[in-house]
Structure 1
Amino acid sequence: MRARYDGLAEWYDERFGADAPPHQPGLLELLGTGSGPCLDIGCGTGRNFDSIRAGGRSVVGLDFSIDQLRRARTRTDGPLLHGDAAALPFADGSFDTAITLWTSTDVDDFGAVLREAARVLRPGGVLVAYGVHPCFNGPHVVYEDDGRRTVYPTYRRTGWHTDMPWWAEDGIRRRIGMSHLTLADYLNAIVGSGLVAERFEEPAGYDIPHALAFRARKP
């Protein structure tokens, strides 16, 4: 099966910039400082590697797109693995920390990704996740030019969306599509993983939140 992001690595970095992403301070706050390897699940082109290293940890990256991993290799000498986030190629209890950013809309089963993250964490290990806000961002939401958002009554239409009329022709969603979860689906995926949520954030930057982040710990 062809990875959805194959062939887009250079475009992705040009589109979103090669500098530290704007969510880096929030990621560092949720992750905290530490040591040892941190697994970046769905690492893409490696834009979050600096955040991992800034907290004192080393990078282990995993992505389903070989093309994205090729670009990520320019950002780390550490291990990079081609694999499925819902079937991680690691033994139980391999990591103390893991992150997964902007993956909830790119995978077929976000709950399976969280369950796998829980499996490869050691007891007491921490997962930090950032993703699209299920309520205020998604295929049912239009970003207007004046900063407002129009929300359509299609919020409960979960699953894959591939062609919403308001998606920009040159945007990531027009190229990739996205998977939509309701807020209840999202929270129940955390509960079903066996991880214990410690903190939720709606990161600053927009008057109406566009992202939802959380830190959860393996009991």
Structure 2
Amino acid sequence: MTQTPKTSARYDGLAEWYDEHNAAAADSNREPLLDLLGPGDGLCLDLGCGTGQNLQTLRSTGRTVVGLEYSADQLGLARQRATDGEALVQGDAADLPFADEVFSTIAILWLSTDVEDFAAVLREAARVLHPSGVLVFYGAHPCFNGPHTESRPNDGRIVHPTYRTVGWHPPAPWWGEGGIRERLGMRHLPLADLLNAFTAAGLTITRTVEPRTDPVPWVLALRAERR
């Protein structure tokens, strides 16, 4: 397994570029995310909140949002989007600075490709999630969106043999130019490893969605509960 460069080192200094580059994707995923979340109340942790592009979406469900982000620069932009009632905390997703069982909802959005040990993140998320609480995962589809995939004309995809290579992938020749991952690299976890990490953390997946944003799904969304 290759080591992931520190998130703070990769995103600090690039927060404004990332925020602008990712705006369209955040908008296109808003409705599928809302459908998966449903209305709710109580505390909701936006785990890896980045520049805060999803704060308003989470807030609109009726929940009180708390954001956690490792990159100081990204957190600075998130603070510009936060309301007076929202707490934003700098911290490590694999070592959360929260007590046990304090959140009724946890949203993990586009984080699995940036952390060294996503299984550890899920274990920590399960720890701070209230019993019967809901965790929503929304991120890169491990089969069709990753360092092993190559986009083709007419929304096609080629899957390279590096699909089974777990860990950090530097940019590959087929990644294209100018994208977030071409600039920052990407961590990959095969589908079986991703799903097994939920089970190992004591989370039960109750719904799986491949949002219809393209003919070949590039997003995988999961709703899980702590039981």
Partner of 2:81: 75
Contact kept in structure 1, 2:36 and 2:136, CA below 8 Å: yes
Q: CA RMSD in A?
A: 1.5
**Secondary structure in structure 2 of the residue aligned to 1:207:** coil
Contact kept in structure 2, 1:18 and 1:47, CA below 8 Å: no
Partner of 2:150: 142
Amino acid at match of 2:43: P
Pair 212,18 (structure 1): closer, same or farther in 2 beyond 3 Å:
closer
Residue 13 in structure 1 maps to residue 47 in structure 2 = no
2:103 is aligned, of 95, 100, 106, to 95
Amino acid at match of 1:5: Y
Amino acid at match of 2:217: P
Partner of 1:123: 131
2:72 is aligned, of 53, 66, 77, to 66
Residue 55 in structure 1 maps to residue 51 in structure 2 = no
Q: Which moved more, 1:13-22 or 1:70-79?
A: 13-22
Structure 2 residues without counterparts, runs of 5 or longer: 1-5
Partner of 1:111: 119
- Residues of 1 paired with 2:131 and 2:17: CA distance? 39
Structure 1 residues without counterparts, runs of 5 or longer: none
Deviation at 1:9, TM superposition (A): 1.2
TM-score by length of 1: 0.95
Runs of 4+ aligned residues of structure 1 deviating over 3 Å after TM superposition are none
Residue 164 in structure 1 maps to residue 172 in structure 2 = yes
Identity over aligned residues, as a percent?
58
Residue correspondences, number: 219
TM-score by length of 2: 0.92
1:199 is aligned, of 195, 207, 215, to 207
Deviation at 1:163, TM superposition (A): 2.1
Residue 28 in structure 1 maps to residue 34 in structure 2 = yes
- Residues of 1 paired with 2:102 and 2:40: CA distance? 15
